[in-house]
Amino acid sequence: MVSEFKQFLLRGNVVDLAVAVVLGAAFGAVVTSFVENLLTPLIAMIFGEPDLSALTFEVNNAVFGYGAFLNTLIAFITIAAVVFLFVVKPINALITRSRREPTPDPTTQKCPECRSEIPIDATRCAHCAVVVTPAPLS
């Protein structure tokens, strides 16, 4: 039982998941600090109020703290924007750059009838037996 548990823990996907969770938490702390310490003061300069948590209204002695909700909503939108602009967009650009279009094989051509790959100098398709004009060699 202990060896099975050890084998389970040392699987690649469990270790990868643990590393991802730890790095995700650390990255979340960095992004939260960036938003709280750099972006929120900028928003305060523009709108004049850095903390909306004091905004409330009361109905039948029930206090609704919509300001705290607005603070959380603004923080979420700001964090999402930061992650999108500084993580998602650059990663997508790197992935797009790394993808290469497959170069066509210069030794084959497509059969006009069945669209199978055939040798470039073939005169008849091996799959459907249609007569094919050999492609000019370049």
Average pLDDT over residues 79-95: 86
- The residue extents of the domains of the chain are 2-98, 104-138
Does this model's pTM top 0.75?
no
Could you count the other beta carbons within 10 Å of the beta carbon of residue 111? 19
- pLDDT tens digits, residue range 13-64? 777 788 788 888 888 888 778 777 887 778 778 777 667 777 889 999 999 9
Residue 137's pLDDT is what? 60
CATH topology of domain 2-98: 1.10.1200
Specify the pairing of strand 117-119 against strand 62-64. unpaired
Q: What angle do CA 12, 13, 15 make, to 5 degrees?
A: 70
Per-residue pLDDT for 89 more than 90?
Answer: yes
Check if the beta carbon of residue 65 is closer than 8 Å to that of residue 56.
Answer: yes
Residue 58's pLDDT is what? 92
Q: What angle do CA 130, 117, 99 make, to 5 degrees?
A: 155
CA–CA distances in Å: residue 52 to residues 15, 21, 59, 77: 41, 31, 19, 15
Task: Compute the distance between CA of residue 62 and CA of residue 42 in angstroms, rounded to an integer.
Answer: 33
